Amino acid sequence: MRPLFTCVLIVASLAACERQREAPTPTQVVETASTPANTTTLEVHIDGMVCGGCAEAAQKALEGIDGVRSADVSFEKGMAKVVCDPGVSADQIVTALHNVEMNGEKMPFEASVVE
């Protein structure tokens, strides 16, 4: 009987020790880089794109704006989705698209931010 009793005691105290070790561990909420805090998504209507190349040029122009994280331009929809810092203004976007050139010629892009 005695060895078994000792064994039970040891197991019980090990379990208690285990509980003590787990208790102070705080639940951690980790913010990942894939959810960028403090960004805003703007919808931009773009007139004047006549092919996929136009959309690519528009995308490059948008991504060249300081504070723009990413731009997704759809030639079919004549729209762009721009993920940017809140400080980026509609004016910056409209101006950047207005100044797009291909082969040295200014593209006839007319943009407006829908938001």
Q: Is 55 in the site for Cu ion (CB under 5 A)?
A: no
If binding means CB under 5 A, how many residues of this protein chain bind Cu ion?
A: 4
DSSP label of 41 = E
Cα–Cα distance, 103 to 80 (Å, whole number): 22
Residue 105 and residue 112 in contact, taking contact as beta carbons nearer than 8 Å: no
Region near Cu ion per CB under 5 A, out of 19-27, 35-43, 50-58, 82-90: 50-58
Q: Is residue 54 near Cu ion by the rule CB under 5 A?
A: yes
For Cu ion, give the closer residue by CB, 93 or 107.
107
Rule CB under 5 A: which residues touch Cu ion? 50-51, 53-54
